[in-house]
Amino acid sequence: MARSTTPEALPEGDEKVAAVRTMFDAIAPRYDLVNRIMTFRMDVRWRRRTVERLHLAPGATVVDLACGTGDLCRELSTAGLAPIGVDLSFGMLAAARTDAPLVHGDALRLPLPDGCVDGVTCGFALRNFASLPPFFAELARIVRPGGRIALLEVAEPPNRVLRFGHRAYFGKVVPLVGGLLSDPAAYRYLPRSVAYLPDPMVLHEQLAEPGFSDIERRLLSAGIAQLITATRGVGVDSTSIRRQRTGSS
């Protein structure tokens, strides 16, 4: 099995993009198995909740970004929605188990026209993108006015005792078991990558900037995961969104 070369220090920018792609290519063959073991299958319930919180009508087109092996795509299909999976990792797409159309692409530069989809999902990938503000601007660009997004990510429990236990499990047990079953470097990186996630208030502001409204953050399973949902605002200027996406003034 190929081993990733993820650096011990947390990478940034283009270095992070390359490291994340290499890492997920390496862990793709056993990604689902490790996820189920590490979360005691709670990740299945979290993904189902993510799809439910979209509140979209059957037949709606939903892009699942960082789709991995297609877990969320399958949940979307089961709910009667029409998913399209996008991932940066060829390895993940090759290991995908879904009938949904799959696209190899960068979530910050999607090969999709403005306002072309009804919704977006993304599972456990916010901390792996090079930068979140341009990612949120890209979501606002491709989602139609009134469309929905649902972003699933890890979190830390607010309860002090649970937080201590979660940090010990996520920081010690996950790298140990993940290293035995898959790639040691990758499962040392993944717990540390939580440091990339901004404070919830900052995340809220970053989503509001490109025009998302009704932004809600829900903690799942006593706070070890979080689900962020929002609605694409009506009347948001697409030109200004494209400026945010590219960083131009």
N residues, the chain: 249
% pLDDT > 90, the chain: 86
- Interior CA angle at 200 toward 240 and 173, to 5°? 125
Render pLDDT for 191-248 as a digit per residue (tens, 0 to 9). 899 999 999 999 999 999 999 999 999 999 999 999 999 999 987 665 556 555 555 4
Calculate Rg over the CA atoms of the chain.
17
Q: 3-state DSSP helix/strand/coil percent for the chain, to nearest 5?
A: 50, 20, 30
Sheet holding 117-123, edge to edge: 102-104, 82-87, 61-65, 117-123, 143-154, 225-232, 212-220
Render pLDDT for 104-136 as a digit per residue (tens, 0 to 9). 999 999 999 999 999 999 999 999 999 999 999
Instruction: For 137-178, give the DSSP string.
Output: HHHHHHEEEEEEEEEEEE---SSHHHHHHHHHIIIIIHHHHH
Domains (range + CATH), the chain = 13-246 (3.40.50.150)
Instruction: Quote the pLDDT of residue 190.
Output: 85
Instruction: Quote the pLDDT of residue 54.
Output: 98
Q: Which two tokens stand for residue 77?
A: 């299909």
Q: Does 3 have pLDDT greater than 80?
A: no
Q: Which two tokens stand for residue 30?
A: 């056993």
Mean pLDDT value of segment 23-30 = 94
Q: Does 50 have pLDDT greater than 90?
A: yes
